Amino acid sequence: MDASSHPAEGAPPAAADAWQLLGARPHKVFAMHIGYRARAAQKGRTPGAPGYFLKPATSLSTGGEAVLPAGTEIFGFEGEIAVVIGRHARAVSEADAWGHVAAVTAANDLGVFDLRWVDKGSNLRSKGGDGMTPIGPALLPAERLDPAAIEVRTWLDGELVQEDSTATLIFSLPQIVSDLSQLITLEPGDVILTGTPAGASTLSPGQTVEVEVTAAALDGEQLSTGRLATTVRVGDQALPPYSAQPKPTAEQWADASGRPIDEFQQAEAPVLDDELRAQLSSVALATLSSGLRKRGLNNVSIDGLRSTQPGSRIVGTARTLRYVPNREDLFKSHGGGYNAQKRLFDSLRPGDVVVIEARGDNRSGTLGDILALRARHLGAAGLVTDGGVRDLDVVTEIGVPTYHAGGHPAVLGRLHVPWSHDETIACGGATVQPGDIIVGDGDGVLVIPPALARELAAEAIAQEREEEFIAAQVDAGHPVDGLFPMNAEWRAKYEARLAQQGAAE
């Protein structure tokens, strides 16, 4: 290719190494919308012709850390094969196209999907930020490769999640180069991302995505780019108010993760609105427990905990955090940095209740004063852990109601590795799922399935109205026989009282 003597001159820090790798400052970075047959099947649509979008050359990097805007949360990865142009190409044929390619390498088409609403299709903001197109770490010479026999693999935290070959591309690599050149002059150093296989999904801050491209050279030698490793981090730089703000919708979660939209629509639905919150706050936990028992749900109490705020009540939506037993190598990879614990607390919303699985082991802290402060600042309704709490006196003063198994001065790493968040966990003998409704008072903590909550609250209110009537009759001297529970005679009196009250209102 035509190499510049100083290809990285003027590049932002994230792009400088990538431009050096290419040996030229690329003028253009292209990306395919859908390239592989399996990806088309996953998306439910197969393109009749190749489709592309442009990414700025400043989005290139050689991996490492990509820093994304504050307030964003839907981060997608897409392992891809990148084609690097070596000679000018304009209106070249399919047969001649590969001769204009200098090299192939690995690429990761990162995306911030909660910014796609403003420019979906162009993907400029959601995929064009600095550092959002990692490539490398090595270039494989195109003249030594069969363009129909190049493989790409992607790993998320060491687990293989994508694997495919150019043999299954809808449009071959030569066809892609030829197609782009029909209207656009391709120049040395230009990069073409050729689409991602099935399995592209989301990653959380601190997780590592690795992409590798391999091929058997025409002379039989096995070639590899090596693994291109990238992590993402949410930065401190917030978007100004005149910029399009993040919108983490169910549609974008589904698009980024490859999972059914129904999963995210259910999670997005505001089950616990102000009316339901007020209803659940007005009835005793014992009444709610009885209603759940009538429905066959006996294992919905989080047991063995005490509250930092006796006499207070929590009603909120579960956000779950899972700790696994400490293992030194796993704590090294998952315990430091922006781990699952910190990611969860930074993403709390008003009314959330953090529920922590610590396996009932209270011989170290599972949270402390800093996280309690963060929870208070973000409006969390409460904290629940079946492990210990560090800085217990200070956490109590901070005021966020915290149910716990005792205080302990030891740090998290003595016993626990923060492993994952927002998945099904076990806490205090109860299964808790993200989105469950958590209600706590002096009697303990209950887990209420969201689908039952409104019906359960209405029934509990009616039941407590009955019990107030019964209590008044007992206080007036009536025996409990026939009154508790009410027989037909007392039931008729009660219904007459309700009718009288309704008429008065």
Could you tell me which residues are annotated as the binding site for substrate?
368-371, 390
Evaluate whether 362 touches 415 at the Cβ level (below 8 Å).
no
Q: Residue 385: beta bridge partners?
A: 356
The pair of three-digit structure tokens given for residue 89, joined into one six-digit string:
């190409």
Cα angle 434-439-445, degrees, rounded to a multiple of 5: 95
Residue positions in the annotated binding site for Mg(2+)? 391
Residue positions in the annotated binding site? 368-371, 390-391
Beta pairing, strands 159-165 & 222-224: unpaired
DSSP-based three-state secondary structure for 113:
helix
DSSP-based three-state secondary structure for 209:
strand
Number of other CB atoms surrounding residue 20 within 10 Å: 15
The phi, psi pair for 144, rounded to 5°, reads -95, 0
Cα torsion for 417, 420, 424, 429, to the nearest 10°?
20
The pair of three-digit structure tokens given for residue 51, joined into one six-digit string:
């489709």
Rg (CA), the chain: 29
CA 96 to chain centre: 44
DSSP state of 340: H
Evaluate whether 316 touches 382 at the Cβ level (below 8 Å).
yes
Place of tokens 């990285």: 8
DSSP state of 147: T
The pair of three-digit structure tokens given for residue 365, joined into one six-digit string:
């802290």
Please enumerate in sequence order all residues whose Cβ is within 8 A of that of 291, keeping only pairs 6 or more positions apart, or say none. Answer: 456, 459, 460, 463
Measured CA to CA, the distance from residue 338 to residue 340 in angstroms comes to 7
Place of tokens 């209590």: 471
Question: Identity (one letter) of the amino acid at 446?
Answer: L
Rounded to a whole number, what is the largest CA-CA distance in the chain? 101
DSSP-based three-state secondary structure for 278:
helix
Best CA proximity match to 134, nearest among 104, 106, 163, 103: 106
